[in-house]
Chain A
């Protein structure tokens, strides 16, 4: 089949940048990576890109296609080519480009290493030097985080990192959750304290781009949410983001409402809130906020309080309480429009903790 590609060529050494178009003949089953190989072999040997396994496990070939990060080896070109679309291929975002589609991964690995990504054992030595005994169910807490292949697709599209380059980022934080959720690791509290710093958990802007682009179903945003829930549960909440989350929940539990007048000083501190007074007054005049007195409590506030109590009783006030959605690898788009196998009934969270149905 005929495949057209537009590739951004770039050299950090010279600063030269150009969008080049290539027309190639590729087999029907070709992936974007296969097409790049054909370009490099037969048209332009100077094209630079990384590759190795070609089966979605090594993480080498992360790049952008039409502005969104993909694994080149996972991207089948059939539908694109037959639609006559010519995609624009460029290097991943948020990392310095070295040449063409090759980025400098050093900043990525530095952030990874800053998480202290190795097990810090915190359990008694197992009997006879054998394995630590733990149920599969307990290990499933970090099932998704364990899937990460360090490809960089999440980092490429991270909006928080684009505006704050020092943000640790989705990949590093997902790796952090891999250890926080591992029962064998004894440094949970230290990790949560470390990850809750200025450029940690709470700098995430919750845009879900990382979840969208991750080719392995790691769901880094979910991992960050899990870290946040666990940090607040452990009382690690000095960061404004943590305070906001904590008081949001408290407000909802206590009153059945989100009370902004209470939330702002609790999140930002009293001094900072005073600066917001003028704005608060204007809102009050327009009837946008209830007066702080008498206290505004919802009619059926007992229901709200009952729900919160139930969550705590079930031990789900930390990372266990973050609903992870369906089994990540079930969310696969294999291009079968309409027809194809029937949807499979899936979902980890179909039962409540006591065995009854949700």
Chain B
């Protein structure tokens, strides 16, 4: 072991940093491992806002927030966890503000709240359209204040299981090279999502599902893996995000004829309907020939320069740099892009997974508060509330237990795998497999799904997984070998893709983000009001199901 700690957090985005702060404040010796410097984490790219029922803008309370979340989840969310979430959210927001978070203020000088998708009342607290950036900054400030150790640019490669507990992480040290073993009485996964499985995604290059794959390979259950949210307003061809906040401030979507088509698909909520509803509506317009070069148009021109510069300056800059369009004068071409993974490592409301000593929080986890579809603004709140809960729970357990041990066998096994990967001098370069994965996932497992395409995709993934052991790493060096880490990330993504497809093809209904308009167009509560559970058995995924935890709300028809 190179080092050991009470609590080891893998990932240093909003969830990771909030967990580390909570663990530190609970008295534990905590350290973070991250393949990026903390402020580079993708949480910082979040734009629109963070939800809590503060009641600063009209009547609101945690029960309404909880119902909106349950309905938004298409009734697949676990209601006991959702109730905890919405009840604790306001306190967590005030804590962030007390730490100095720079949120936008309303006329009374209190925290402003903007309308967001599928929210009964405006409850999205925000900072212009750079909310994620503001949160990353305030959390990093608090990390620096507490002098919390960060193993920066350490790429997590193996979770250590020993004696029925998770006891540490083996990482590749990106700066100096070599495997490093860091022991932890508890480990918290906070590694984010896996948008990079898709060619068109809002996600950073770093979002390759590392934590999910590590947990999967250790034999832990992943929950609801087939549910990938497609954000309605991403730019072509990259998928760079234009925030829902644009619609929250009054922007509308138009098709090629200039029609505000959301009036047809969601007569009440219109452009601020739930994300899955909007993405499907856009995709339908595009598929039926009413798109413009494969996109629809996000029109902000009626908002006026002052409002855009005040509330949406980041979006304007993004549109100008990446789409060549100034939204003050012209609409922005947008289309659905892979954005947020509702599925992930199964945890309870304290972030505890099936394995003693292993916790998970944030996008990597599936509690589940988002069920089959997530509300905009709930993800940032999830990172804070469940990051705190996981950090506190992990610290409490660690302080009551004393030993940490990493068996030599685990280390030797990792070394062997590394030697094998670096040893190959010919074969296929990873980018080909990566590009084929990204394109095929977008074509066959995107907004609309159907049996034939999913079956085809399962074959494609199987073929890619067969080719993967033949990839070679060109850079054999020890210093900043991102060629190596990118090759490992590809392996993670391939395993996750196989898991997602198995769960997707088996779910014979349409619910939330999993939409099958041609073969199973309706929701089937009788047979599928249950969570998909995926485990890794003998080198492949195995599927089972688990009940949804319902406390107050029975499933109803979901209309916006």
B109, A134: Cβ atoms under 8 Å?
A: yes
Name the distance in Å between B15's Cβ and chain A's nearest Cβ: 16
Name the distance in Å between A321's Cβ and chain B's nearest Cβ: 22
B480, A55: Cβ atoms under 8 Å?
A: no
Name the distance in Å between A125's Cβ and chain B's nearest Cβ: 9
B429, A42: Cβ atoms under 8 Å?
A: yes
- Please pick, from B54, B240, B483, the residue contacting A55 in the complex, using a CB distance under 8 A: B240
Q: What's the Cα separation between A121 and B142 when bound, in Å?
A: 13
In the assembled complex, 7 residue pairs joining A and B whose CB atoms fall closer than 8 Å, in A order, are: A53-B42, A56-B321, A118-B141, A126-B98, A131-B110, A136-B105, A182-B100
Closest 5 CB pairs of A and B: A45-B474, A119-B100, A118-B145, A41-B431, A118-B141
Which residues in A have some Cβ–Cβ distance to B below 8 Å?
Answer: 11-13, 27, 29, 40-42, 44-46, 48-60, 74, 76, 98-100, 102, 105, 109, 112-113, 117-119, 121, 126, 129-136, 139, 142, 146-147, 149-150, 179, 182, 184-185, 327, 329-330, 332, 334-335, 340-341, 344, 346
**Nearest chain B residue, comparing its CB with the CB of A46:** B475
Stretch at the interface among B22-30, B33-41, B180-188, B339-347: B33-41
What chain A residues lie within 8 Å of B305 (beta carbons)? 344, 346
A13, B479: Cβ atoms under 8 Å?
A: yes
A132, B98: Cβ atoms under 8 Å?
A: yes
Chain B interface residue count: which class? 35 or more
B99 CB-CB contact with A under 8 Å:
yes
The answer to whether residues A56 and B42 also contact, given A45-B429, A131-B97, A329-B309 and a CB cut-off of 8 A, is: no
What chain B residues lie within 8 Å of A98 (beta carbons)? 175, 479-480
B479, A11: Cβ atoms under 8 Å?
A: yes
**Nearest chain B residue, comparing its CB with the CB of A45:** B474
A118, B94: Cβ atoms under 8 Å?
A: no
B102, A55: Cβ atoms under 8 Å?
A: no
Q: Which of B366-385 contact A (CB under 8 A)?
A: none
What chain B residues lie within 8 Å of A136 (beta carbons)? 104-106, 109, 112
B318, A45: Cβ atoms under 8 Å?
A: no
B321, A74: Cβ atoms under 8 Å?
A: yes
Q: Which of B253-298 contact A (CB under 8 A)?
A: none
B557 CB-CB contact with A under 8 Å:
no
**Nearest chain A residue, comparing its CB with the CB of B318:** A55
B206 CB-CB contact with A under 8 Å:
yes
Q: What's the Cα separation between A46 and B473 when bound, in Å?
A: 9
**Nearest chain B residue, comparing its CB with the CB of A117:** B141
A119, B141: Cβ atoms under 8 Å?
A: yes
Q: What's the Cα separation between A146 and B175 when bound, in Å?
A: 29
Q: Which of B325-383 contact A (CB under 8 A)?
A: 326, 328-330
Q: What's the Cα separation between A117 and B141 when bound, in Å?
A: 6
The answer to whether residues A54 and B475 also contact, given A40-B483, A129-B94, A131-B97 and a CB cut-off of 8 A, is: no
Name the distance in Å between B60's Cβ and chain A's nearest Cβ: 14
What chain A residues lie within 8 Å of B237 (beta carbons)? 27, 29
**Nearest chain B residue, comparing its CB with the CB of A146:** B102
The interface bits of chain B over 506-545 (1 if a CB of A lies within 8 angstroms of the residue's CB, else 0) are: 0000000000000000000000000000000000000000
A60, B36: Cβ atoms under 8 Å?
A: yes
A139, B105: Cβ atoms under 8 Å?
A: yes
Name the distance in Å between B69's Cβ and chain A's nearest Cβ: 23
Residue in A55, A60, A118 whose Cβ sees the most chain B Cβ within 10 Å = A55
The answer to whether residues A42 and B109 also contact, given A48-B480, A55-B318, A57-B45 and a CB cut-off of 8 A, is: no
What chain A residues lie within 8 Å of B112 (beta carbons)? 136
